[in-house]
Structure 1
Amino acid sequence: MSGVPAKLHAHPTVGFAWLRMIGAVLVLVDHSAPLLDPHRLTVFPASWHMSPGYLALMGFFAMSGYQIQDSWARDPSWWRFGARRLLRIMPPLVVVVAITVFVIGPLVTTWPAHDYWTHVQTWRYLVGTIVLFFMQHQLPGVFSDNPYPFSVNGAIWTLPMELLGYGVVLVLGVLVLLGLPKLIQVVALAGLVGADSVFRATFEYHGGGGSLVYIPLGSTVSFLVPFAIGMVLHTHRDRIPFRPRYAIPLFLAYLALSQTPASRYALAISAAYGALTLATHWPKRLERLGPHVYGSYGTYIWGFPVQQLIILAGVRQVWLLILLAVPAAYLVGLLSWHLVELPTQRLRRYLATPVRAAAPAAAPRAQPVPAGSPPG
């Protein structure tokens, strides 16, 4: 990929895994402030108009766009593509929702047990959140005495947007198979940028456009912009150099523009290009530690309820919440990886790509990210 020397840098799979874990921790850290003080939106001062968690999410979506486009490019089968994506995103979600409803809820709710189990919101949360597009945020009496009683697991609000990104890859991929040029990706990206310019969502505001069922449309479009950038960068990866000397000025430009309307564009571009550049330049010496950071998805979806439980136990200092929640969420994420994600990922062997006839020898291309990489 872009001629990165293998002897100097780890395989991009490892780089992506590390960046996803770092991003999951940044989101958890950023949630610590509003969970203890709902008037705050980030651990940064409000006057900065910046959020490390939001920056991490932009990077998440860019990496997903790149990796999911890679998955489609290697096997453009709509049903195998869909099955792989559902096997990746759904089992850990079902587990965290089920444990939240059937274990955490009954243990911490302030409601009588009979009222908790018979209230329609309990079952609406279970079914609606697993369906994703009917996502719910509250369970009867659960964390209702915490400083932030508005959500049991606020981190998973981005998962429907991720699923929509998968749909974008699928639809555009099918259109290309039907004969449209790959330029259709750039057209889709331009359309998303245009919509983002109208809705103007930020980490402080969901933007205009209302909701798609229960999902804020403005925020969805904002996250799909870096997702689409990742797709385009993958498609043209042999012609686009991923170099730190370009990534650093892009990030500095975002910092310089952070107080201006142009920051939304600078953020999406710098987060996308920066994340992919970091992934492809990850230090070789950290490659052997890759398996220890493959639990980023579990860390991400478990971090919020873990924090709420720690707060329920009486913690009221942001620094102490971070100190306790980061290792706890990381350990739960590793359990999710080994007990839920790896076993379900092994089911992919039933989705093996059919063997194709050997093609004539061609010039070597950059090595793509393997199908078994741990996307979010």
Structure 2
Amino acid sequence: MQNKNDEKKYLGEYFNRVKKNNNLNLIRLIAAILVLWTHSWALLNVPMTLPYSEVKINISVGLIAVMIFFIISGFLISMSFDRTKSWKKYLRARVLRIFPGLIVSAFFVAFIIGSTFTTLESSNYLLNRQTWIGFLELVFGLPNHLPGVFENNVYTSGVNGSLWTIKYEFAAYIGIMVLGLMKKFNLKSSIFLFIMSIIGIVILKIHVISMSGPIITVLNLMSAFLVGMIVYFYKDKFILSKKRFVISLLFLLLGLLSNNSDIFQIIFIFFGTYIIFYISYALPMYFKKVIDYGDFSYGLYIYAFPIQQVLILIQGGGVNPVIIFIESLLLTSIFAYLSWNLVEKKAMMLK
């Protein structure tokens, strides 16, 4: 027999009742910390292993964290577009959310961190054409390089490697707007595009060795964003129950035990999504006081990587990844707090 107190509660009911009083910001904060944790190992070229063992963790924790961002973003941005009368106002709101904080971060990295830690003379660095190109690369989330900066670190392929997702995030925003202008912003279109993205991943997986190729990565992010859109459109029929939550946790555990990134990603896109929205809307806000201080996930995301690189430069490539994680989390939290209160929040008031 169906448990009425459990099975008959829908996401739409919670959504309409709690409004902004949910755990979405908490989950985004955790995702940002997971990205920081992953980079603490990757920037030292140290394989991540299970505690007290030499068993390598093959699941891409960083990619899963990014998928969490995109799932939540697909849900929230769909809500934003649905509630905005004008596509111009929608686009303005999205630009104000992404770029003010990013521009300040890019300036800080290019001209404060860059001029301090470059191997070039400060005057030569500031006059170097690549410095200014690098600043623009940082602003637009492109592969970035600053002359003489972090060139002796373990990782030398970019000064802020976290920003690669920004262009895909903004492209997804544009995609929603295009669907709206075409009168295709609905559940049916979202499901169709989601199925196409999953089919694309499967086909490419059959014909290539790894799922880490650029096209498949884009499809992974696209599928995550689209599943968030689907949840938004389906929220009035999306049942939130403890039983389904536990089942989803068990499937996620099986995915973890597989220690296979491909398997876990497929499991996560379905069952991880359920867990995200159950925790966000059906569970109490145990950390409400922390979240009330502000939305720090974006600041953590855009500042952590270069701060970690600075810490590695100062302490050397042999430093323990856990030490880098703790140090960078503490330092980056300060920048995230300042970014939210001095830049992001003020920019959002201009919407």
Structure 2 length as normaliser, TM-score? 0.86
Amino acid at match of 1:142: V
Question: Would the alpha carbon gap of residues 80 and 183 (structure 1) be closer, same or farther in structure 2, given more than 3 Å must change?
Answer: same
Alignment check: 8 A CA contact 1:58 1:272 kept: no
What residue is the counterpart of 2:297 in the other structure? 296
> For the residues of structure 2 that align with 1:181 and 1:50, how far apart are their CA atoms?
33
Deviation at 1:111, TM superposition (A): 1.8
Question: Would the alpha carbon gap of residues 131 and 4 (structure 1) be closer, same or farther in structure 2, given more than 3 Å must change?
Answer: closer
What residue is the counterpart of 2:3 in the other structure? none
What is the aligned counterpart of 2:161 among 141, 144, 154?
154
Amino acid at match of 1:17: N
What is the aligned counterpart of 2:235 among 209, 234, 237?
237
> For the residues of structure 2 that align with 1:51 and 1:70, how far apart are their CA atoms?
29
What residue is the counterpart of 1:322 in the other structure? 325
Q: Return 19-28 or 161-170, whichever deviates more.
A: 161-170
What is the aligned counterpart of 2:41 among 33, 40, 62?
33
Give CA deviations for 1:81-106 in whole Å, capped at 9, x if unaligned: 11100100111110111111111111
What is the aligned counterpart of 1:20 among 13, 24, 28?
28
Give CA deviations for 1:10-49 in whole Å, capped at 9, x if unaligned: 655541111111111111011101112x253x46577432
What is the aligned counterpart of 2:115 among 101, 106, 112?
106
What residue is the counterpart of 1:359 in the other structure? none
Structure 1 length as normaliser, TM-score? 0.80
Question: Would the alpha carbon gap of residues 238 and 61 (structure 1) be closer, same or farther in structure 2, given more than 3 Å must change?
Answer: same
Deviation at 1:186, TM superposition (A): 1.0
Amino acid at match of 1:113: S
Amino acid at match of 2:160: N
Q: Percent identity?
A: 26
RMSD: 2.6
Secondary structure of the residue aligned to 1:347 is: coil
> For the residues of structure 2 that align with 1:64 and 1:269, how far apart are their CA atoms?
16
What is the aligned counterpart of 1:183 among 179, 188, 193?
188
What is the aligned counterpart of 1:217 among 193, 215, 218?
215
Deviation at 1:206, TM superposition (A): 6.0
Structure 1: runs of 5 or more not aligned: 209-215, 349-376
> For the residues of structure 1 that align with 2:293 and 2:250, how far apart are their CA atoms?
31
- Count the aligned residue pairs: 331
> For the residues of structure 2 that align with 1:15 and 1:39, how far apart are their CA atoms?
33
What is the aligned counterpart of 1:96 among 83, 88, 105?
105
Secondary structure of the residue aligned to 1:20 is: helix
Higher helix proportion, which one? 2
Secondary structure of the residue aligned to 1:50 is: coil
What residue is the counterpart of 1:246 in the other structure? 244
Structure 2: runs of 5 or more not aligned: 1-10
